[in-house]
């Protein structure tokens, strides 16, 4: 089904994700990237289209940046392993992680140099980027 590999690369496709796919899956499945996330659904982009998928309780937890394999009816076959993942402690008393985004290669840390400049804040952002696996860049 792969007809335009460059379109996948434009979406962020890398060999890291391709290595997770068997030859049978490559012939039959459609890679898709999560580009928007809502409470009840996600928007995904494939090499040729963008569409919504309703979320079900049985589906894995997905976040913007994730890569999925879809069948020809646009149903999720599986979630590919993440290369990087931004997360934080979820609000409340539960010790649960809240996913923020996945598969981000570079995280730009931007801060104003005015009176509200805070070196500790920049350090927290750098720590978050390092924990995610992304390459941090301070501007």
| pLDDT over 90 at 136, yes or no | yes
What's this model's pTM, rounded to 2 decimal places?
0.85
Q: What is the pLDDT of residue 1?
A: 43
How many CB atoms neighbour CB 135 within 10 A? 13
Q: Which CATH class is domain 5-79?
A: mainly beta
The DSSP H or E segment spanning 82 is none
Q: What is the pLDDT of residue 3?
A: 44
Under a CB-based contact definition with an 8 Å cutoff, are residues 47 and 4 in contact? yes
User: In degrees to the nearest 10, what's the CA dihedral of 14, 15, 21, 25?
Assistant: 70
pLDDT in tens, 37-65: 999 999 999 999 999 999 999 999 999 99
Domain ranges of the chain: 5-79, 85-138
pLDDT in tens, 90-122: 676 777 788 899 999 999 999 888 988 999 999
Q: Which residues contact 12 (CB under 8 A, 6 or more apart)?
A: 33, 65, 103, 105
């Amino acid at each position: 089904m792969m007809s335009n590999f460059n379109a996948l690369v434009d979406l962020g496709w890398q060999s890291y994700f391709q290595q997770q796919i068997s030859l049978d899956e490559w012939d039959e499945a459609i890679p898709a990237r999560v580009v928007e996330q809502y409470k009840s659904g996600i928007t995904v982009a494939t090499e040729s289209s963008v569409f919504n998928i309703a979320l079900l309780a049985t589906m894995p937890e997905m976040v913007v940046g994730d890569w999925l394999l879809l069948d020809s009816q646009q149903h999720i076959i599986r979630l590919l392993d993440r290369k990087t993942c931004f997360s934080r402690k979820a609000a409340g008393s539960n010790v649960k992680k809240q996913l923020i985004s996945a598969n981000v290669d570079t995280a730009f840390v931007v801060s104003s140099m005015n009176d509200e400049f805070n070196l500790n804040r920049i350090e927290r952002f750098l720590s978050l980027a390092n924990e995610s696996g992304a390459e941090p860049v301070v501007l």
